[in-house]
Structures are given as C-alpha cells and as structure tokens.
Amino acid sequence: MSVAVQVADYSRLPASWADALPRTLDLDSLYAVVDALYSARPGAVSPLRRTDVFRAFHLTPLASVRVVILGQDPYPDPAHAHGLAFSMPSVGRVGRPQSLGKIFGSLRRDLNLSPLSNDLSPWADRGVLLLNAALTHRIGAKTPDTSMWEDFTRAVLELVAAKSDRVAWLLWGEFAVDLADSVQVSNTRHRRFENAHPRASRANRPLLGQDPPFTKASMFLGTNPLLDWSN
C-alpha cells in the first residue's frame, strides 16, 4: 500500500513574520501577484513549487535569526531552487551550482567540513536566514523579479536590522553589501562580514576561499557551543 507524502505548504508567510511586518505592506496583494505568476507560467517559475516561495521564513522565525546570508534570486533551473538562498534540494556534486560549490570549498578551508547534501535547511533551522532579494525568478524573462519584491525585502531586512540581539551578516558581493547599506546595517550591535560573491574569481573584496567568514561569525555570536555549520 502506497503512502502519500505530504508536502509542506510555504506559500504564505508564517505569523511570526507576517505580524511583525508594517501594515503598510499589503501581503494579500503580494500573494495574489505570486499566485497569478505561477498560474500564468506553469513550470517556468523558480522555485518550481509555489509552496516553496516563503520556505526561509518558516524554517527561520524572526526571533531565531542569528545570521543573514543574502542572495539575489532563485537558481534559474526551477528544480534547483526550493526557497532558500544558495541551497539546493539534492545530494552530491552532480548538478551542484558553482556558487554552492564555492561556499562548500570555503567551509572545507575554514572548518574542515565537506558537505554531501546540497540542502542548507539545517542551517536555516539553526537561525541562518537564507534570503534571496527576489523570491521568484521567471524563466526566460528579460528582467529579474527584484522590483516586485523590493518593498517586501526591505521591510524584512529592516526588521532584522532592528533586532537587539547580535546578528552576523554574511554579505557576498556588491548586491548584498548594497542591500545591507540600504537598511543601515552597522557594526554597532550586529557585525558585517563582507566577501566577494561565491562565483567571483577576482573582486575588490576578499574571496570566500581566501577569507572564510564562518568561524568568525560564530565567534562574534559568542554562543556556546558555537554555531554548527554542518548540514
């Protein structure tokens, strides 16, 4: 007898985030736009499943955020994306995106970790908010979905930036640095760790492989035990 596998529904924000966002942000209208996007482009939106769009917020409640890692938008292959920045729901190196491979290379140098799984959900469960600035990507579109998500993303980042607890911001590339600047993330309560984007081979900022941020972020947070970066 076959057993039906229940797929978690992350198509809406959990209350822990929705209730904290400003009321001027019309979430119902945003949901309607996303629903229409998936209806109009079946199979041509990343992540592939509408129910994955807000996964990051379900796995990492606002009160639990200890680290922020910012991406730009979901992987262009819908099957590679599942609602967490840089994460991929699979095991092994076959098909692993270059950026994720570079992140894992940095982990090896920093902590001697060699992850097999490409799924970063364990990080999210431990308080690492894996946030893309745009939560959707239209396959073949001439323009990214960033503008559609701009107000939402800013409101989310402002909430995190206002937290009184320590938060480590791992900012990879100019896009992530500019986003953090836009909500005035400082090194007063929080700490910024800036690197080049994982895909970069040369940049004005230290490459992930040259200056890994994982141990430094854990030391800043000062938790005992230190944040577990395995997955």
pLDDT tens string 39-98: 999 999 999 999 999 999 999 999 999 999 999 999 999 989 999 999 999 877 778 899
CATH of the domain at 28: 3.40.470.10
Is 2 contained in some domain? no
pTM: 0.94
For residue 175, give both structure tokens. Answer: 């896009």
Residue 106 lies in a domain: yes
Is residue 1 situated within a structural domain? no
Query: Residue 200 falls within a domain, yes or no?
Result: yes
Segment 203-207 mean pLDDT: 73
Distance CA 64, CA 67 (A): 9
105-159 confidence digits (pLDDT tens): 999 999 999 888 999 999 999 999 999 999 999 999 988 999 999 999 999 999 9
CB 72 within 8 A of CB 133: yes
Residue tagged active-site, from 52, 73, 110, 145: 73
Q: Please report how many Cα atoms fall inside a 13 Å half-sphere around the Cα of residue 152, on the Cβ side.
A: 25
CA distances from 158 to 153, 177, 179, 221 (A): 9, 14, 10, 20
Position 8 in a domain: no
Please name the residues in contact with 187: beta carbons below 8 A apart, sequence gap of 6 or more: none
Is residue 194 one of the residues assigned to a domain?
yes
State the Rg of the chain over Cα: 17
Range of the domain at 73: 24-221
Respond yes or no: is residue 181 known to be catalytic.
Answer: no
- 39 burial via Cβ count (<10 Å: 0-12, 13-18, 19+): exposed
Of 21 and 224, the one with more pLDDT: 21
Q: Indicate whether 9 belongs to any domain.
A: no
Q: Tell me the CA distances in angstroms from 89 to 8, 132, 142, 168, one per residue in order.
A: 14, 16, 26, 25
From residue 100, give the alpha-carbon distance in Å to each of 20, 75, 193: 31, 11, 18
pLDDT at 226: 79
Q: How many domains does the chain have?
A: 1
